[in-house]
Amino acid sequence: MKIAVLPGDGIGPEIVAQAVKLLEVLRADGAKIEMETAPIGGAGYDAAGDPLPEATLKLAREADTVLLGAVGGPQYDTLDRPLRPERGLLRIRKELNLFANLRPALLYPELAGASSLKPEVVSGLDLMIVRELTGDVYFGQPRGIEVRNGERVGFNTMLYSESEVRRVAHVAFGIAMKRGRKLCSVEKANVLECSELWKEVMIEVSKDYPEVALSHMYVDNAAMQLIRAPKQFDTIVTGNIFGDILSDAASMLSGSIGMLPSASLDEHNKGMYEPIHGSAPDIAGKNLANPLATILSVAMMYRYTFADLATADRIENAVKKVIAQGLRTGDIWTEGTQKVSCSAMGDAVVKAL
């Protein structure tokens, strides 16, 4: 298995280094994996004048799977929009057809105190957000900024075809089948035609999954319910922009956005794996970042692309163990636990593994 390793910007290289360290241990242990690194985001722009350099895209296409750190940084914010780091990320998702983005939010019992919500609201939380990733207002045409009637207007198009909704629906129902068999489809069908179609297609696809209880919720209510009573959810399926927003909110339920991995899959389970957090330029290069989301992304890689559930469990158990040992990076630190650096956390996971 060939893994394209794309560290990106900010804390990306530090956290990815911890995941690579873990992969090297697995390789020494007999795993047949190969890794090759390439720049993306601001690093791609610096290296080749393009946030998704051609050579990086080629490597990602040829590889069996992709491990990504994070992209973006203030030094790139004034570039022309097509050159900005985020465009590199959006393009690789689109080019590789990674339409199903899995974002689990799981609370480790020891981290209940790190959540900004009351422990009883979040303890036992285990929820999966399936976010559509290659459509919606992120990619819809037309889009732009232009002058109309003597003033500038900015516009984007929220658009889903039924085939786009159907394929992510099948992924979400499939995942719900393996979990608690409850799927909540989140949209804004009381206002948006795009959501009306989304909901209709969800109901059509649900006929193929009679064991799964499908429910529907407007996105504003879903945002409230996630904070009020998050354990009512098992699996959520939603569009690109609603999923972007709700998954950041859900991340806080689990203590820190630094804990949450993600998988972005195409039809053949070729995946790109990345932590859901950003490049955190404020702490970049200081060895302070939490590498666990990236390490847990490797576990997801084993689960979904390599279909090696034993190794996925092994990695996840190693993470549980270091949490149980009381090791914490700054983002999840609470009184009475031991604050460690990014690399020390990586070492501890390797040792636990």
In the complex, the residues that contact ligand IPM under the rule CB under 6 A are 86, 89-90, 244, 276
Is 248 among the residues known to form the active site? yes
Residue nearest to Mg ion (CB): 244
Taking only Cα atoms into account, the Rg of the chain, rounded to an integer number of angstroms, comes to 20
Answer yes or no: are the C-beta atoms of 156 and 140 closer than 8 Å. yes
Q: Does 244 bind Mg ion (CB under 5 A)?
A: yes
Partner from Mg ion, ligand IPM, none binding residue 66, C-beta < 5-8 Å depending on class? none
Catalytic pick among 94, 218, 231, 244: 244
Is 188 among the residues known to form the active site? yes
How many secondary structure helices (H) and strands (E) does the chain include?
A: 12, 14
Q: Does 86 bind Mg ion (CB under 5 A)?
A: no
Residue 206 CB, nearest distance to ligand IPM (Å)? 27
> In the structure encoding, which two tokens stand for residue 125, read together?
């939380």
Residue 26 CB, nearest distance to ligand IPM (Å)? 26
Q: Classify 169 as helix, strand or coil.
A: helix
Residue 90 CB, nearest distance to ligand IPM (Å)? 6
In angstroms, rounded to a whole number, what is the distance separating the alpha carbons of residues 138 and 143? 9
Residue 96 is classified by DSSP as T
Q: Does 110 bind Mg ion (CB under 5 A)?
A: no
Q: Which strands sit side by side in the sheet containing 271-275, from one edge to the other?
A: 34-37, 2-8, 65-70, 271-275, 261-265, 100-106, 126-132, 235-238, 182-187, 213-218
Is 138 among the residues known to form the active site? yes
Residue 52 CB, nearest distance to ligand IPM (Å)? 12
Q: CB under 5 A: which stretch of 48-56, 131-139, 238-246, 293-301 binds Mg ion?
A: 238-246
Q: Which active-site residues does the annotation give?
A: 138, 188, 220, 244, 248
Per CB under 5 A, residues contacting Mg ion are 244
